[in-house]
Amino acid sequence: MSEPRNDPAGGVRLDRLLLVRVDVSAQMGAGHFMRCLALAQAWHELGGRAVFCGHLSSPAHYRRLAGEGFDLLPLPSPATPPHVFSSVMAAEADRSGHDDKTQVWAVLDGYHFTRECQDAIKDKGMKLLAIDDEGLQSRWNVDALLNQNLHAHLLRYELAPNVLSFFGPGFALLRREFRSLFPDQDEIPGRGRRLLVSLGGSDPENWTSKILEGVARAAIPGLHCKVIVGPDNEHAVGIEKKSRELGPGFEVLHSPGDMPALMGWADAALAAAGSISWELAHMGVPALLVVAADNQEPIAKHLGHMGAADNLGWVKDLGSGDVAVRLKRLLRSPGVRRTMAKKGRAVVDGKGALRVASRMRGELDA
């Protein structure tokens, strides 16, 4: 627990508390967790304290939180009832000395969090930020709503007039490490040979192996392909085996700690169109995006229309030949890669988490 700070005006001031309700599992993936981590980092940078509440499926996620200095209120399951987890969060606020719950922000990020979950937190008196991607709920009981996608403004959200709305990639929650590293856009090789592949933190359908077959079929001379395998990937052994079979140009990296450096290394990426899409755009990495889940389809579609990425469509419908053709075309086209890099950087400036945290904290001061 953080110690109360002295207020310059006299007396004692409590650290502003952010309570983040998020889960990680092989089915859910790690995107929700990572973007909440970005918001927590920004909250901490602005002088607040963040505590996570949820079920984390891998020790790697525990280590990540510990490394950032964030506490965890563990839950036995993502299906923990709303009245239970809201009570756990309220008890943490009490323990931290926040008798006035309106001075505490809670966050909900996950498709399994219903209106009942919102009501349970609001009933405890806390302010609530919900993070959404799809607009499937019509009415919201929140103080702020965040949808970082390009199509957010097209969704019909029914919000009270005083609700803060954070819509679009200007509010994309990128982690602190992405803010300070930008590759030189002028250094675009005529023939790209360094490829980063990432199909998500879990990839339950093992689309990674299917994609690698397409990469190998492209037969790019001198290709070095780095394959990211997340901590919840149940097919890691099979992907290792597949990579060895494909040859020395394929390298598997398990939960690498420095993703910005890897993106800075890459001439191009082939990735699922989840949260990594915004990271790649910000880093100016030309990307082939595939759709592995319903919520990824509009991201790939809109980035493709803008020319910030190449949308390959649903991964389940792709053949290895399709992947090979599009990959060769991208790696052989420096002009296309330069344009993608420029347009991606124009979409995401990397400061979204700080924007959101600043405005939330301003709301507390109001």
Q: Residue 14's pLDDT is what?
A: 64
pLDDT reported for residue 3 = 43
For residue 257, give the DSSP letter.
S
Residue 205 belongs to a domain with what CATH number? 3.40.50.2000
Domain shared by 355 and 316, yes or no: no
Q: How far apart are CA 230 and CA 324, in angstroms?
A: 24
Strand partners, 228: 198, 253
Cα distances (angstroms) measured from residue 231 to each of 36, 64, 91, 313: 17, 12, 31, 25
Domain count within the chain: 2
Which residues fall within 8 angstroms of residue 187, CB to CB, at 6 or more apart? none
Which range marks the domain in which residue 246 is found?
180-347
| 253 phi/psi in degrees, rounded to 5 | -115, 125
For residue 129, the number of C-alpha atoms closer than 13 Å in the C-beta half-sphere is 29
- Helix boundaries (H) for the chain: 31-45, 59-68, 82-95, 115-123, 207-218, 236-246, 259-265, 276-283, 297-306, 320-331, 334-347, 352-365
Q: Examine the domain organization and report whether 188 and 260 are in the same domain.
A: yes
pLDDT at 94: 96
Residues 156 and 240 in one domain: no
User: Which run of H or E residues covers position 259?
Assistant: helix 259-265
Q: Would you state the structure tokens that stand for residue 207, as one six-digit string?
A: 């689309």
CA distances from 65 to 37, 51, 271, 326 (A): 8, 9, 25, 38
Question: How high is the pLDDT of residue 186?
Answer: 59
Q: Which residue has the tokens 């190449």?
A: 310
Same domain, 355 and 307: no
Local confidence pLDDT in tens for the 366 residues of the chain: 344 444 444 443 468 999 999 999 877 878 899 999 999 999 999 999 999 999 998 888 999 999 999 999 999 999 999 999 999 999 999 999 999 999 999 999 999 999 999 999 999 999 999 999 988 887 899 999 999 999 999 898 989 999 999 999 999 999 999 986 555 555 787 899 999 999 987 888 999 999 999 999 999 999 999 999 988 888 989 999 999 999 999 999 998 888 999 999 999 999 999 999 999 999 999 999 999 999 899 999 999 999 999 999 999 999 999 999 999 999 999 999 999 999 999 999 999 999 999 999 998 764
Q: How far is CA 103 from the centre of its chain?
A: 26
Together in a domain, 163 and 201: no
Same domain, 157 and 25: yes
Q: Looking at the structure, do residues 156 and 237 belong to the same domain, yes or no?
A: no
In DSSP terms, 12 is beta-bridged to 6
131 and 64 co-located in one domain: yes
What is the pTM assigned to this prediction?
0.91
